[in-house]
Amino acid sequence: MSTTAQLVQGHHDPTLQHHFHTKEQQFETSKLGMWLFLATEILLFGGLFVGFALMQQKYPQAFLLAHHHLDRSLGALNTVVLLLSSFTMVMAVWAAQTSRKKLLVWLLLATMACAFIFLGVKYFEYSHKFHEGLLPGKFYSHKGDTVPNQFVFFSFYFMMTGLHGIHILGGIGAIGWLVIRALKGDFDANYYTPVDLIGLYWHLVDLIWIYLFPLLYLIQ
């Protein structure tokens, strides 16, 4: 209502908040904030990665044997599913940038579908491990191990994939909110900041899985 830019332009853009001079400045500010959040996410997961590296150095035999309980093909399937979801997400951002409103909704729904497939496969993997007693820490009850301390591997497995799974759930919620707003027609070439930022978050979740897959499933 009172900024110079608006007085000069003589009209009020509802998507431009009053404390920014231009749309571009507003967009770049939001994006920088998102990147700062993503840097803290790298460190959140990073602590677990460092712990994993140190413990694998300490118990290499236990980690090698423990990882044979994981299904490599299911891990690879989930990697492919997440990469596909990253592609549909970046295409959704492109659809918003070029004002393709219907395509945007479909691409967001495709991304959500991939996320649900990922969680479905993870549920299948988890229930198999619960059944075998391959659980973290003191809950580990698998019988017939020839090398001790395999529970350490499963502590890391569940903490790392669990934290990642929570991020997938959060992503599903955020993308669902984007779908509702996209259906209302809120996003076009003039304003698509939320699509872009949630896209960045989704790619980071994919990026973390890119490291989790070889470390957990492909130990030699």
Provide the binding-site residues for other proteins, judged by CB under 8 A. 28, 31-32, 35-36, 38-40, 42-43, 46-47, 49-50, 53-54, 57, 60, 64, 72, 76, 79-80, 83-84, 86-87, 89-91, 94, 97-98, 137-138, 140, 145-146, 148-149, 151-152, 199-200, 203-204, 206-207, 210-211, 213-215, 218-220
CB 85 within 8 A of CB 206: yes
* Least distance CB 181 / other proteins (angstroms): 21
- Comparison of 14 and 47: residue with beta carbon closer to other proteins: 47
Q: Which two tokens stand for residue 184?
A: 């209302």
* Least distance CB 79 / other proteins (angstroms): 5
Q: Which stretches within the chain are classed as H helix?
A: 4-9, 23-58, 60-67, 72-97, 101-132, 150-183, 193-217
- Comparison of 3 and 215: residue with beta carbon closer to other proteins: 215
- Comparison of 53 and 169: residue with beta carbon closer to other proteins: 53
Q: Which two tokens stand for residue 5?
A: 């830019």
Strand partners, 166: none
Strand partners, 191: 188
Return the residue matching tokens 């070029």.
98
